[in-house]
Amino acid sequence: MEEEQAPTASLYDRLGGEAGLTAYVDRFYDIMQSDPAVAPLWAMHRTELSLIKAKLASFLSGFVGGPLTFPERYGAPFMRARHLPFPIDEKMRDMWLDCAYRALAATFTDRAAAIQFAQGLTKFADHMRNVG
């Protein structure tokens, strides 16, 4: 008789679920706000961050295999279309990824999960480029 294997935890669960993603988003924006090297990226964001943080955490939930709360709360993501008003070139993408990677390193202890998340974020960030 074969033993049943326990299902592999989703990336969402390995990252700590909603609490883990919220902590990640908070750290991401803390880095963006405090690092002068990414000031051009920070200038694109609203000064009131509560809604933008909630939207990013909600989007990331579905992005990593968790609940699809973004469409329920805000409609279809269409993230590239939502960002078309902002010029996102290779330099801007790299600034965003630098903040994202630093927040990953500071937030998650599951290295394999963080690497998997980083790979997805890298593809996503490259897709968001709309200049050059």
Please check the confidence at residue 17 and state whether its pLDDT lies above 60: yes
Question: Could you tell me if residue 27 is inside a domain?
Answer: yes
Q: Which domain holds residue 86?
A: 15-128
Specify the residue for token string 């051009």. Answer: 40
Q: Which pLDDT band holds residue 7 (cuts at 50, 70, 90)?
A: low
What confidence tens digit (pLDDT) does each residue in 97-127 have?
A: 999 999 999 999 999 999 999 999 999 999 9
Indicate whether 65 belongs to any domain: yes
Residue among 95, 94, 18, 88 nearest 56 (CA): 18
Please say if the pLDDT value at position 5 is more than 50: no
Report the CATH number that the domain containing residue 29 is assigned in CATH: 1.10.490.10
Number of domains in the chain: 1
Give the span between the Cα atoms of 59 and 37, in whole angstroms.
26
Share of the chain above pLDDT 70, in %: 94
Does the residue 4 lie in any domain? no
7 in a structural domain = no
DSSP E strand boundaries for the chain: none
- Average pLDDT across the chain, whole number: 92
Asked if residue 97 is part of any domain, the answer here is yes
pTM exceeds cut of 0.85: yes
| CA–CA gap between residue 56 and residue 22 (Å, rounded) | 9
CB atoms within 10 A of CB 49: 16
pLDDT 10s digits, 41-71: 999 886 789 999 999 999 999 999 999 999 9
Residue 69 in any domain: the answer is yes
